[in-house]
Amino acid sequence: MFLNGISRSLAVGVLVCVALLTAVAQVLLKRSALATPSFSGRLGDRRFVGAVALFAACPLLVIWALGSVDFSFYYATTALNYVFVAAGSRFAFGEAIDRRKVAGCILIVVGLIVFALTSPATGTR
């Protein structure tokens, strides 16, 4: 069944996907804000609706994965949002990414790898 326990590696993959989906939702929100000047107009915008749908789906995926990883590890994976949003801002909006931002993103990824290697397989209950 879908909500039964999953392997740690699958849970980690799900959490990385959640960070990516959250970043995609944020890019969609920005695109909606640029395309539609009024908030009430955004309510019917497909980018806005898509972003809200992604934001709604992410907690369900997190709940699914939390049975197989420590909560502290899950929370550390949320730092990947910075990495994915930086990439999204570059590719979706042409924003500059300087060396400091690249270095910061590399540090986040390396830190998460170190965190993953030192985290236990499952959380305490």
Please report the DSSP string for 10-34 in residue order: HHHHHHHHHHHHHHHHHHHHHHHHH
Give the span between the Cα atoms of 122 and 94, in whole angstroms: 40
Q: Residue 104 gets which letter from DSSP? A: H
With a cut of 80, say whether residue 122 has pLDDT above it.
no
Interval 76-103: pLDDT, tens: 899 999 999 999 999 999 999 999 999 9
Interval 21-63: pLDDT, tens: 999 999 999 999 898 877 777 888 899 999 999 999 999 999 9
- Name the nearest CA neighbour of 67 among 2, 112, 125, 20: 125
The pTM of the full predicted model, rounded to 2 decimals, is: 0.84
